[in-house]
Structure 1
Amino acid sequence: MKLTWQDTLDIAIALAEKYPDVDVQYIRFTDLHSYVCQLEGFADDPNKSNERILEAIQMAWLDEL
């Protein structure tokens, strides 16, 4: 499955599985952006993200925990 920036829930699940020890509440958006871009199956343009998208991913990740 190919992930895009719009797949916030699927990205959050993948991040929770790949980075179980990350303190999501205090993650910097630059780090979060990097983590998303490194996910297997992520196939979107890294430049298409913005603060709103990263915040939505962060909130979904927190909900997964």
Structure 2
Amino acid sequence: MKWVDVYDIAIELDEAYPDTDPLTVSFPQLYEWVMGLDGFDDDPERCGEKVLEGIQMAWIEERQ
């Protein structure tokens, strides 16, 4: 997975952290969790606030 795979990342986060409300996760924590996902392989420098916002929104949608 790469940073642009926001929906795939959201699905993986939802499976890895089923009891976590995505709105309560800080961006630094979200960054660390994404970096730790199995199958994630992208340059850490390519991530910014907009990418993390997109991942968070996709995760919220995944929950609904």
Q: TM-score, normalised by structure 1?
A: 0.93
- Give the counterpart of 1:13 among 4, 8, 11: 11
Q: Can you list the C-alpha shifts for 1:12-38, whole angstroms capped at 9, x where unaligned?
A: 000000111112112100000000000
Query: 2: CA distance between counterparts of 1:47 and 1:38?
Result: 15
Match of 1:50 in 2: 48
Q: Secondary structure at the match of 2:37?
A: coil
Stretches of structure 2 lacking an aligned partner (at least 5 in a row):
none
Amino acid at match of 1:22: T
In 2, the alpha carbon distance for the partners of 1:46 and 1:53 equals 11
- Where do 5+ consecutive residues of structure 1 fail to align? none
Give the share of equivalent positions with the same residue, in percent.
Answer: 48
The TM-score, its normalising length taken from structure 2, stands at 0.95
Displacement over 2 Å in runs of 4+? none
Q: Distance in 2 between matches of 1:47 and 1:33?
A: 11
Give the superposed CA RMSD: 0.6
Length, aligned pairs only: 63
